[in-house]
Structure 1
Amino acid sequence: MNNKVLETLEYSKVKHMLQPFLTSIAGQKEMERLQPTSDRHLMAKQLADTNDAVEIYRVKGGIILPQLVDITPHMKRLEMQAALSGTELAQVSKILQAAASIVNFFEELADSKELQLERLPELVAKIVTMPKLTQKIAIAIETDGRITDEASSELKQIRQKIRLTEQTIREKMQAYTRGKTADFLTETLITMRNERYVIPVKAEYRNKFGGVVHDQSQTGQTLYIEPQAVVDMNNRLRQAQVAQLHEEQRILLELSNLLRPEAAAILNNANILGRLDFINAKARLAYQLKASRPEISDKNYVNLRQARHPLIDAKKVVANDIVIGEDYQAIIITGPNTGGKTITIKTLALIQIMAQSGLFIPADEYSVVGVFDEIYADIGDEQSIEQSLSTFSSHMVNIIDIIKKTDESSLVIVDELGAGTDPQEGAALAVAILDAIGAKGSYVVATTHYPELKAYGFNRAKTINASMEFDVDSLQPTYRFMMGIPGQSNAFEISKRLGMSTAIINEAQALTKQDSQDLNEMIKDLVYQRKMATDYAVDLKQRLAKVTQEQSQLEDKLVKFEKTKEHTLGEAKKEANHIVAETRKKADKIITDLRKKQINAEHQIIKEHELIDAKGAINSLEQDTRIKKNRVLAREKRKHEFKENDDVLVKSYGQQGVLLRKHGDDAWEVQMGLLKMVVEVSDLEKQNLPKTTKNKITSRQRTTVKANSRQRISASLDLRGKRYETAMAEVDRYIDSAVLSNLGTIEIIHGKGTGALRKGVQELLRSHPRVKTYNYANANAGGDGATIVTLK
């Protein structure tokens, strides 16, 4: 992508919005190298990387990495056979530990069913873990680079010897600072000179202690003397310190030699960690901008839904739909200044560049972007003093260059096309330039003041007019982008509202060309028609939502019916099998008796009434196949035939209640003690309670409803994937269950998505009598995808 358009659109500012979220130098370098790509497959991979990080941020709060420095110079020093310092080893150790931590983190994610990652596990699989080497360096080197006592047994012994020798020297020297000898000192303290312990002695008493004079004060009144009694101990201390230095150098060399064969793998790990840091920063920026993953069009169609400029305050920016490519390749935006035309075309180009950089875009879900080889821009005051070029000349130089380079894979945005010269000539030139760019198959979005270009937008193929909305009543722009409607001149209306006399207004209108007046009338008519179409679309949307809701309810009822039908048929079959088994036993007995009688027939006469009895017994085995005689079906039917004041069991709560009145076709209002709630029929079961029990439940006395000890209520309710109406009813029931189970705090997981479930849940909580407070969950526990509720 050419640097000029990146500078014009302030792409570097978007890149540096990632800065606060980066923790490594390698990640910083990734950010600095970030550029838009015209490779469709690379763009898709980069967006998939960002999407993985967004999902991890949503579920786990992001990829956690420590502050990491650039270890490239350290690895080069290893290649040169040099030994690393303690600080350098500590920095390498941090990389090794972070690499192991990331691998463990992604192994845990692999076991989780909440995430389906596309790309990052493949990247993490390239990390080479070195557990033994990582542990050895971590034991030997502190995070600040200091070598620990555990680095080697020899070092530990030397340091113990140093501590004991220092303690002995101090004890001996402290004896000089007490008693009579203290009178020979200028100060009763022990200090160091030339890395040896000394005491400050008055010059006239130098012979009282013997030993070596290491320094004196500026006046010569104080001599810093190492007493003879501690000279040998100081010598032993110095020898131990030299031995310590040699052992520390040996340890650093040993650890460096262990790292040297792994230098390439360690550097690769550092680069992968930097890549992960950068991808994680992209995810966090997406959350900050409330950005979404765009779809990539194979035909370079662009459809941005509620697009927002990323550099404008989210509380002030106005979102707009911008569409280009499928039905038209050129958009002509007309209208007065300060209406938002320039920001709109910048938003289109900058969002397209963000998408081609693998960044999520500040637009609603299901937005579509293309893949352009180049994006060209001619925006702003291009006046050049050095080249003695006027604003018009500078614009023309730039546009000539654009026309030479543009092709069917280019997007061109031009602000105030043809401005800076005679209006008639400028308008004609603008038309010719648009034709030239269109002839190359490029996409172009141009802003202009010229009314002639309004007609151009109507007459040219694959070209559409657009404008920025202006509120005549408040005399303020709304910054809303309107496709299909050219900008309307509001000069007369604004002047009239500001107090201009009617005579002047009428004279001005008389001087205006009829064509211009006709054009304004046409625009008025278009604005009106657009409003009517918008209102009609809203009405259709509401109707569609209602029909969709009713269809959903019908589908739910059908599913419940099928489940009930399947269950009832199953019970009926069991009952039928039981009857068949009993019948078979009786039939076998009758047949056996008849055979016995037939065998004995030669010896005795079978009486007529015996045959009649046997035939009657066989006939009695025939079963009535009518449903009303089936005991299982009849019992199920009786369970679901409800009327007011019936005693019922609310199965989900395990509580007895009384039916008060019917709600719709599949729900009843139920009284359970002091608690009233609406319950679906499928959750009710008719009960035949004794009269005394029934009277106790239906009385108006205070009663306490105790939760069934077998009924356990979870402290969390997951609504994701559920329809709005079903979810709201479930929340209402769940809060009642939680109150019955004495839960003080509950969590309702509604996800993010379009925000409809979240908004519905919070509206319900705001008015619910059992809710005390509610707030979004912490960022690492779901953020605004879950709500924590405190119950009264």
Structure 2
Amino acid sequence: MQERTLKLLEFDKIKDELAKHAASTLGKEKVEELTPVFDLDVVRKEQQATYEAFTVLRLKGQVPFGGIRDIRPAVKRAMIGSRLDAAELLDVAQTIAGGRKLKHFLEKVCAEHGELSILARLEEQIRPLRDVEQSIKSCIDEHGDVLDSASPALKEIRNRIRHAEQRVKRQLEQIVRAPANQKMLQEPIITIRQDRYCIPVKAEYRHHFGGLVHDQSASGATLFVEPEAVVAINNELREAKLQEEKEIDRILTGLTRQVGEAGEDLKNNVQALAELDFLFAKAYYARSIRAVQPQLNDQGYFKLIRARHPLIPAQDVVPTTFELGGEYTCMVITGPNTGGKTVTLKTLGLLTLMACSGLFIPAEEGSHVAVVSGVYADIGDEQSIEQSLSTFSSHMTHIVDILEKMDENSLLLFDELGAGTDPTEGAALAMAILDFVHSRGALVVATTHYSELKAYAYSRPGVINASVEFDTETLKPTYRLLVGVPGRSNAFHIARRLGLKEEIIETAKNQISTDDLRIDHMLAELESARKQAEEDRQAAERLKREVEALKQSLAKKEAQLEKEKERLISQAKQQAEQKIERMMKEAERIMAQLREWQRGHQAVKEHQLIEAKKGLKQLKEAASQQPAGMDKPRPKRQNGQTFKPGDDVYVHTFGQKGQVIEKLSEQEYYVQLGIIKMKVKASDMEKIKTKQTEQAGMARVQTKTETVGLELDVRGQTTDEAIAAVDKYLDDALLAGYQQVSIIHGKGTGQLRKGIQDFLRRHKRVKAFRLGEAGEGGSGVTIVTLS
């Protein structure tokens, strides 16, 4: 792999972005070492590791990496017997704790999701090492200071130090507060010089206090004197502090020995933590650029679906769909400058390097990346002043090097192939280079301005033209890659749009051969046909989405109807059981009265009462097994029926009873099915008898159901008007036998809704009410359940 190619394709910038997501210097170090690998098995393993980390991130949102440090230098020193200081030991303890927390997190996730074998293996490498951690934390606090409780000896020494300090301070406070001493002191304070307590004395009174002089001010006017009265106490204090330092050294040496003994386990922990930090950095980076796991192959096949260059801001990048290695292994891209040709090259090369480094790529699901033997690129204008090379010579030097190193499994990227020299010779040289590479079986993508190369693809099997689209109306590139369409010259059109005289344009056209004009005309027609095909494709996609949305909507409605059907059946069954239960209780009451009467009149036999009770019980059991409306035979369809609002009908499609509420045509009606109003064809309905028509010889009686709807709209009314309307509507709904109705009051300020709901709370026949759900009108509708 050429280092120059990595630089040209800006792989180092990808590593910089990746490093930002590492939680520790351990992970950043692994990122720095990252290089592409061109071995399919290795790349698949690296991609699987990233996938596992990405899966955990998707399920849990984040991963705990707190407290982890690079403790390898400290562990190495501890293993050779060098004493660690308190801060280094604290880092060791915090790293052990952070590793154990991460271990427990991964243990739980891996137990829940069994396909995380790589993470499980790394998690198993982490040793808890609780004894080492507890030993350190019992002696060193979170600020890196050794605790008094680290040893009994240290606690006793520090008690002596505190006692001595108190005695010194009391003695010195008496001196500085004495009125006779005020004029001799520069300031009435106690200070420390050379780790001994002193007072600031004016130079001329140096001998008044005796003792020792430990320092003086810059001017010499102030001497920092340790009075003779506290010298002995200060000596005692100094001796205690030396003992403290010795005891702390003994404690830290013991802790260091423990770290050294656990050195191999600690190194293994650090290695596993570094690998985990690196894997999750890749996962975090994939999430940040909305990347996906590519499908890998070693057959030289690329298919990038809406791929994006990861270093271009998301709001600016134009996705590219790209395919190479199937029917064609060589692509020649033409088009205007700044049109996106070079970005296309870099996107293909960089995404290949990312995939071969175990990174996800910014594209859509289903993208394929080939694990090639190497990626080689010659991109950009690189004059070499030091070597006195022109642009052409510089490019040729690099191309020669590439052609020597490539093989049949390589991916070659050439930007402006053959540029920098005579156009005729440059075009011929470019075609010869492409022929050489293509004949070796390597994959190659080249950009060019030469019109000769547009015809090249038509005369070579396995070679295809492509171009970057240019909008001739706005005179700007769209940055879209058009595969199969060579770039068309827009010079005349652009010149005309910019105001160049027509006679000059015509003169220029006469300078071009008839064949060139014919080719340009053919390309124009081809581009027009492509645009029409693209518009047709988008229209088809749009229709497909609409059909899919309609399908989902119908499925949802069907599910709602089925749910409502089950609710109604359950409700009917419950009501029937309640009714029969009431009948049974009434029968028991009557039978008790009959027995009482029998005892007085001897007219009714006991066996008659038992038979009557048995019959009632059988009636209850039958009603429980066959609730109303469940097992009744469906009415047979009859052709030629007509319907009118108010007719009770059976809808065969949904297997439910409903009521006609509006006639749309002879073939279609609006039918109320439970709480849902639907269009139903006449051929799918069957008129059924109501209770009124079932009674022989009686005239049909009009019910409230025929005139009262399932909803009342009071929008635009005052609160008082609306409450009066709701009161009357609820009476009508109860007479009609409705169990659930809707009050439409709108959203507005909420006053109308509040007034109506306050009224509903007081209504005796209102069992419950609630705001509508998303498909029922939301907060603009109140759903009322009647009792």
TM-score (structure 1 length as normaliser): 0.74
- Counterpart-to-counterpart distance in 1, 2:712 and 2:380: 72
Question: What percentage of residue pairs aligned between the two structures are identical?
Answer: 39
Structure 1 residue 279, shift from structure 2 partner: 2.4
Any conservation in 1 of the 2:67–2:97 contact (CA below 8 Å)? no
**Residues 156-305 of structure 1 aligned to structure 2 (within 5 Å):** 156-179=155-178, 180-203=180-203, 205-216=205-216, 222-305=222-305
CA distance in 2, matches of 1:499, 1:640: 73
For residues 448-474 of structure 1, give each alpha carbon's deviation from its aligned partner in whole angstroms, at most 9, with x where no partner exists: 111111111111111110001111111
1:603-625 CA-to-partner distances (Å, cap 9, x unmatched) read xxxxxxxxxxxxxxxxxxxxxxx
After TM superposition, give the deviation of residue 17 of structure 1 in Å: 1.0
Q: CA deviation at 1:345?
A: 0.8
Indicate how the Cα distance of structure 1 residues 694 and 536 shifts in structure 2: closer, same or farther if over 3 A, else same. Answer: closer
- Worse overlay, 203-212 or 324-333: 203-212
Matches within 5 A, 1:773-784: none
The answer to whether the 8 Å contact 2:742/2:781 transfers is no
Shift of residue 552, structure 1, vs aligned partner: 5.5
Indicate conservation of the 8 Å contact 1:83/1:256, yes or no. yes
Question: In the alignment, what sits opposite 1:122?
Answer: 121
Question: What does residue range 288-367 of structure 1 map to in structure 2 within 5 Å?
Answer: 288-367=288-367
Which residue among 728, 732, 745 is the counterpart of 2:775? 732
* C-alpha RMSD of the superposition: 4.2
Q: Deviations over 1:182-229 (max 9, x none)?
A: 343333222223322222334554554343444455666554333333
Question: 1:574-593, aligned counterparts within 5 Å?
Answer: none
The equivalent of 1:145 in structure 2 is 144
Q: 1:643 aligns with which of 642, 645, 659?
A: 659
Provide, for residues 377-419 of structure 1, a one-character-per-residue CA deviation record: whole Å limited to 9, x for no partner.
Answer: 1111232223232222222222222222222211001011111
CA distance in 1, matches of 2:527, 2:711: 56
CA positional deviation for 1:564: 11
> How many Å apart are 1:710 and its aligned residue?
11
* CA displacement at 1:6 relative to structure 2: 0.4
Q: 1:69 to 1:630 in 2, by over 3 A?
A: closer
Distance 1:274 1:490 in 2: 55
**8 A Cα contact 1:374 1:409, kept in partner:** yes
Shifted more, 310-319 versus 183-192: the winner is 183-192
Contact 2:198 2:224 in 1 (8 A): yes
- State the secondary structure of the residue aligned to 2:658: coil
Measure the CA separation in 1 of the matches of 2:679 and 2:149: 76
Q: How many residues of Structure 1 are paired with residues of Structure 2 in the alignment?
A: 653
User: Offset of 1:262 from its aligned partner?
Assistant: 1.1
Kindly provide the amino acid, as one letter, of the partner of residue 130 in structure 2.
Answer: P
Query: Residues 297-318 of structure 1, C-alpha deviation per residue, up to 9 Å, x if partnerless?
Result: 3423111111111222221121
1:470 to 2:498 alignment? no
User: Against the structure 1 CA distance between its residues 254 and 695, is the aligned structure 2 distance closer, same or farther, given a 3 Å change threshold?
Assistant: closer
**Aligned partners of 2:768, 2:99: CA distance in 1, in Å?**
47
Which one-letter code corresponds to 1:85 in the other structure? D
Name the aligned partner's letter for residue 517 of structure 1. L
Note closer, same or farther for the CA distance 1:657–1:142 as it changes in structure 2 (3 Å cut).
farther
Q: Quick check: 151-160 or 71-80, which moved more? A: 151-160
- Tell me the distance in 2 between the aligned counterparts of 1:492 and 1:219: 88
Q: How does 1:38-53 map to 2 (within 5 A)?
A: 38-53=38-53
The answer to whether the 8 A contact 1:78-1:260 is kept is yes
Q: Is the 8 A contact 2:744 2:780 kept in 1?
A: no
Instruction: Kindly state the Cα deviation for residue 67 of structure 1 after the two structures are TM-superposed.
Output: 6.2
Amino acid of the structure 2 residue aligned with 1:453 = L
Mapping of 1:555-574 within 5 angstroms? none
Deviation at 1:561, TM superposition (A): 10
Change (3 A) 1:206 1:497: closer
Q: Which residue of 2 aligns with 1:527?
A: 527
Determine if the alignment matches structure 1 residue 634 to structure 2 residue 677. no
- Gaps of at least 5 residues in structure 2 are 572-625, 635-649, 663-671, 685-708, 716-731, 746-754
**CA separation of 1:174 and 1:711: change in aligned 2, threshold 3 A:** farther
Q: Distance in 2 between matches of 1:732 and 1:118?
A: 44
Distance 2:743 2:133 in 1: 73
Determine if the alignment matches structure 1 residue 34 to structure 2 residue 34: yes
1:724-769 CA-to-partner distances (Å, cap 9, x unmatched) read xxxxx9853696699989xxxxxxxxxxxxxxxxxxxxxxxxxxxx
C-alpha distance in structure 2 between counterparts of 1:219 and 1:502, whole Å: 93
Q: Give the C-alpha shift of residue 525 in structure 1.
A: 1.6
| Distance in 1, Cα, partners of 2:325 & 2:767 | 64
Q: Which amino acid aligns with 1:176?
A: I
Contact persistence 2:193–2:215 (CA under 8 A): yes
| 8 A contact 2:712–2:744 mirrored in 1 | no
Letter in 2 for 1:464: I
Write out per-residue CA displacement over residues 115-147 of structure 1, whole angstroms, 9 at most, x where no aligned residue. Answer: 964632332221111122212212322344221
Q: Which whole-Å CA distance do the structure 2 matches of 1:516 and 1:285 have between them? A: 49
Q: Match for 2:711: what amino acid?
A: Q
* Offset at residue 96 of structure 1 (A): 0.9
Q: 2:711 aligns with which of 668, 671, 681?
A: 671
8 Å Cα contact 1:659-1:671 kept in structure 2: no
Structure 1 residues 706, 732: closer, same or farther in 2, change over 3 A?
A: farther
TM-superposed CA distance for 1:255, in Å, is: 0.5
TM-score normalised by structure 2 residue count: 0.74
Mapped partners of 2:506, 2:276: distance in 1: 67
2:735 is aligned with what amino acid? K
SS at 1:634's partner residue?
coil
Structure-2 residue corresponding to 1:419? 419
Q: Conserved in 2, the CA contact under 8 Å of 1:25 and 1:68?
A: no
Residue 633 of structure 1 aligns to a residue whose secondary structure is: coil
One-letter amino acid of the counterpart of residue 633, structure 1: D
Please list every run of 5 or more consecutive structure 1 residues that lacks an aligned counterpart in the other structure: 572-627, 647-655, 676-687, 714-728, 742-792
Partner residue of 2:749? none
Deviation at 1:698, TM superposition (A): 8.1
Per-residue CA shift, 1:473-525, capped at 9, x if unaligned? 11111111110000001111111111111111111111101111111111112
CA contact (8 A) 1:657 1:697 kept: no
Q: 1:693 to 1:395 in 2, by over 3 A?
A: same
Q: Secondary structure at the match of 1:642?
A: strand
Equivalent pair of 1:176/1:182 in contact (CA under 8 Å): no
3-state secondary structure, aligned to 2:532: helix
Contact 1:305 1:364 in 2 (8 A): yes
Structure 1 residues 632 and 327: alpha-carbon distance in aligned structure 2, compared to 1, 3 A threshold:
same
More displaced stretch, 42-51 vs 362-371: 42-51
SS of the residue corresponding to residue 276 of structure 2 reads helix
The aligned amino acid for 1:671 is E
SS of 2:389's partner is coil
Tell me the residue number matched to 2:678.
662
Partner of 2:488: 488
Letter in 2 for 1:355: A
Partner of 1:405: 405
Once the two structures are superposed, the pairs formed by residues 573-722 of structure 1 within 5 Å of their partners are: 632-634=630-632, 640-643=656-659, 659=675, 661-662=677-678, 671=711, 691=735, 694=738, 703-704=756-757
Instruction: Output the CA distance in 1 between the equivalents of 2:743 and 2:66.
Output: 65
2:303 aligned counterpart, secondary structure: strand
Aligned to 2:14: 14
Residue 670 to residue 31, structure 1, CA distance change in 2 (3 Å): farther
Q: Output the CA distance in 2 between the equivalents of 1:12 and 1:221.
A: 63
Relative to 1, partners in 2 of residues 1:369 and 1:256: Cα closer, same or farther, differing over 3 Å? same
Q: Which residue of 2 aligns with 1:94?
A: 94
Question: d(CA) in 1 for partners of 2:769 and 2:123?
Answer: 44
Deviates more, 1:525-534 or 1:439-448: 525-534
Q: Could you tell me which residue of structure 2 aligns to residue 501 of structure 1? A: 501
* Aligned residue number for residue 452 of structure 1: 452
The 3 A distance-change label for structure 1 pair 239 and 328 is: same
Secondary structure of the corresponding residue to residue 381 of structure 2: coil
